Amino acid sequence: MARPREFNYDDALRGAMEIFWQRGYRGTTLPDLLAAMGMTRGSFYQAFGDKEATYLAALDYYDTAVVSTVVDRLGRCAAPSAVACLLPMFQSSEADTRGCFICNAMVEMGPEHPEAAQKTRAMADRLRRAILSVLEHFASPSPDRTLPETADLILHLYFGKQAMGKAGGAAADWEGRLRSLV
């Protein structure tokens, strides 16, 4: 008879996401991963297979836990303007020093891991579509660029903000910058 799981799968994935987000794929050792997930080596291998499969599962968990939350929040935004809807994406949090998990994965794994690259592109595309939806609801097209181009700029500004935050330099007038685009 098989032994029952002695860990919570979602808690373990959350722990994996956090350690990969903080240290990256290459910077995370198996002992780090086991400690973050609260698992024994045997349970880890039985439930997740290996470090690579766990990393991909952590990206999926981030998509569900973080990206879906942001997309949903943007889709339900009842604020009076596009800037007011988009600004929460740019407000500081404790996560700033970790950067963006999507960006980190794009840079570290994307060039050599097609599945990680595909997952990060899909998450970025979902964020872009949610930004575009906000713009379509509130903003008038600029004579200088289309709404899809503006959505691209805002997404890239967001990713840049996250990258700069990882290096300790993200403080800026994000509201003013958004107003200049919308």
Tens of pLDDT, residue by residue over 101-143, are 999 999 999 889 999 999 999 999 999 999 999 999 997 777 8
* Residue 64, pLDDT score: 95
Domain residue limits, the chain:
56-181
CATH code given to domain 56-181 = 1.10.357.10
Indicate left, alpha or beta for 147 from its phi (over 0: left) and psi (-120 to 50: alpha): alpha
Q: Please check the confidence at residue 154 and state whether its pLDDT lies above 70.
A: yes
Q: Please check the confidence at residue 172 and state whether its pLDDT lies above 80.
A: no
User: Tokens 């997404």, residue?
Assistant: 155
Written in H, E and C, the secondary structure of 65-130 is: HHHHHHHHHHHCCCCCCHHHHHHHHHCCCHHHHHCCHHHHHHHHCCCCCHHHHHHHHHHHHHHHHH
* Mean pLDDT, the chain, whole residue set: 90
